Structure 1
Amino acid sequence: MRTGEKGLTLIKSFEGFYSKPYRDPIGIPTIGYGFTYYLPDRRKVTMQDRPLTEHQASCMLQEVLKGYENDVNRLVKSKLTQNQFDALVSFTFNLGAGNLASSTLLKKVNRNPNDPSIANEFAKWRLAGGKVFAGLVRRRKAEADLYFSK
């Protein structure tokens, strides 16, 4: 599967577009739609990098998401709806495949992708740098809402 329009919209809305490098809430140089590195060489973003256009960032997002889509496709053993897939790609883009792989969220999705307690598993992932972030609380709710939407 590949990320659908609802997934792209969710990711873009929470990441926001930044043409110039900035430091994320835990101090990591970031640009575009939450990129901390560039493809294909995985060179890290620095605060001295040149600005991006929104078009460049959208193209980068499509390319970067392929890796996260592959991670979700590899880790999830259950058949998913498009919305479930999109929510899990957003989660993985934000937190990384290692966190998805080791999560109770993934265990529950693989056991029964329609288990209502999955929403609670999304909600647990609200910390950055050991602190609760309101933006992460909102994002996890939006991911859970997308996951369970028809």
Structure 2
Amino acid sequence: MSMRTNNAGIQLLHHFENCRLTAYLCPARVWTIGWGNTRYEDGTPVRQGDTITQQRADQLFSNILRTFEQGVARLVRAQLNSNQFSALVSFAYNVGLGGFQRSQLLKRVNANPSDPAIRQKFLNWTKAGGIRSNGLIRRRNAEADLYFNPVIR
């Protein structure tokens, strides 16, 4: 059974993505809808003028999130706790699985998931459309905080 994003990870994603039921251009100039989705389940890109219901936004989020969970599980070879996994899913959800796959963050995690330098690797991804974003700085810090927060059993 593969890992799933925990409640802290879902709350983090919802906090930073916000939910918008009408398509909008994100800071990276990509049409986005719902909980930060740029595509629908079939790969069709979100287009200007698209609208969805809250129920559809939540369904789309769950379906797309599963794709990112599977991608992170496939790329990470190290053993992770649920906070580490959830933080990486949030990161990949934002930068894409290709960005995650090419990142120094993934390389560090696979080499040693306890390496304190991992925090800086999150913070290397704070630009949207080539411009440093305060929102992305806050998000990367929150993801790193979740990553390094021990899981209480």
Measured against the shorter chain, the TM-score band is over 0.9
Match of 1:141 in 2: 141
Q: How far apart are residue 48 of structure 1 and its match?
A: 1.8
Match of 1:46 in 2: 47
Match of 2:22 in 1: 20
Match of 2:73 in 1: 73
Match of 2:9 in 1: 7
Alignment partners' CA distance in 2, 1:70 and 1:23:
27
Match of 2:38 in 1: 36
Alignment partners' CA distance in 1, 2:82 and 2:23:
32
Name the count of aligned residue pairs: 148
Alignment partners' CA distance in 2, 1:97 and 1:9:
20
Residue type of the alignment partner of 1:43: T
Instruction: Please state whether the residue corresponding to 1:19 is helix, strand or coil.
Output: strand
Kindly indicate whether the alpha-carbon contact (under 8 Å) linking 2:83 and 2:146 is maintained by their aligned counterparts in 1.
Answer: yes
Match of 2:62 in 1: 62
Kindly indicate whether the alpha-carbon contact (under 8 Å) linking 2:19 and 2:35 is maintained by their aligned counterparts in 1.
Answer: yes
Alignment partners' CA distance in 1, 2:114 and 2:126:
22
Contiguous gaps of at least 5 residues in structure 2: none
What TM-score does the superposition give when structure 2 sets the normalisation length? 0.93
Kindly indicate whether the alpha-carbon contact (under 8 Å) linking 2:29 and 2:129 is maintained by their aligned counterparts in 1.
Answer: no
Are 1:107 and 2:107 counterparts? yes
Q: How far apart are residue 26 of structure 1 and its match?
A: 2.4
**Moved beyond 3 Å, runs of 4+:** none
What TM-score does the superposition give when structure 1 sets the normalisation length? 0.95
